Amino acid sequence: MRNLLNEYAEEHSSLPSEALEWLERQTNIHTNFPRMLSGRIQGELLRLLVKISGARKVLEIGTFTGYSTICLASGLPEDGHVDTLEINDELVDLIYEGWRKAGLVDRISLHTGDAAETLIKLSKKEAAEYDLVFIDADKREYCKYYELVIPMLRKGGILIADDVLWDGKVCADPLPCDSQTRGLLEFNDILAEDPRMETVMLPFRDGISVALKLH
């Protein structure tokens, strides 16, 4: 079904690059869940948040076909870098083809494997400090990701979490008791109540929270 408001918003937002348009088409053709891709408006929001914040080091949890990674990386200065984490290595060829088309391969490192395990490895590295973190992987694990990434997010850094409204399930009555909804409910409470963070939850698409780390 057509979403006229979404189409109108897309028409009044900056145009995606040819590489992003190509990757969106390929994702629709070659993957089972193309809806997971951030899409044009959210992608542009991510690019602008990186650009406005002046972020140089970005961490993404949940690469999928690399669409949001391109958006994040294209908001960076030339010496900026994105570390992106993905468990499914079947999409690696498509991911790199998209990044090559976007001319951004040099600014991105893909870490394949379970995100929580990769985060533990990254946290042991000396340069493990990020300006912006985007959480978009396993909804059951959002609290674990949060616990692991907060020490790596610099003071004044930005945390973005996708799918926080989970198709409205987080405020359905009765509340669903599946593990993904429960994971998101717990994460949303933890983020909203964390005195170190200033947070806004945007009821856009599946919901996206943007938070500033104060201290």
Long-range contacts of 196-200, Cβ-Cβ distance < 8 Å, separation of 24 or more:
196/150, 197/159
Which segment (101-109, 132-140, 188-196, 202-210) binds ligand SAM by CB under 6 A?
A: 132-140
Cα separation, 182 vs 174, in Å, equals 13
Is 115 among the residues that bind ligand SAM (CB under 6 A)? yes
Is 48 among the residues that bind ligand SAM (CB under 6 A)? no
Q: Which of 24, 44, 136, 206 binds ligand SAM (CB under 6 A)?
A: 136
Is 142 among the residues that bind ligand SAM (CB under 6 A)? no
Roughly how many angstroms between the first and final C-alpha of the chain, as a whole number?
A: 44
- In the complex with ligand SAM, which residue's Cβ is closer, 114 or 194? 114
Under 8 Å between Cβ of 185 and 171: no
- In the complex with ligand SAM, which residue's Cβ is closer, 19 or 156? 19
- In the complex with ligand SAM, which residue's Cβ is closer, 57 or 64? 64
Q: Fill in the amino acid letter for 55.
A: A
Residue with tokens 């993404």: 60
CB atoms within 10 A of CB 76: 23
Q: Which of 17, 20, 24, 36 binds ligand SAM (CB under 6 A)?
A: 36
Cα separation, 150 vs 203, in Å, equals 23
Is 24 among the residues that bind ligand SAM (CB under 6 A)? no
Is 137 among the residues that bind ligand SAM (CB under 6 A)? yes
Binding mask 70-109 for ligand SAM (x = CB under 6 A): ---------------xxxx---------------------
Structure tokens given for 58: 């970005």
CB within 8 Å of 95: residues ≥ 6 apart: 63, 65, 66, 69, 86, 110
Q: Which of 62, 75, 98, 207 binds ligand SAM (CB under 6 A)?
A: 62
Is 37 among the residues that bind ligand SAM (CB under 6 A)? yes
CB within 8 Å of 11: residues ≥ 6 apart: none
Q: Which residues bind ligand SAM (CB under 6 A)?
A: 36-38, 62, 64, 67-68, 85-88, 114-115, 136-138, 141
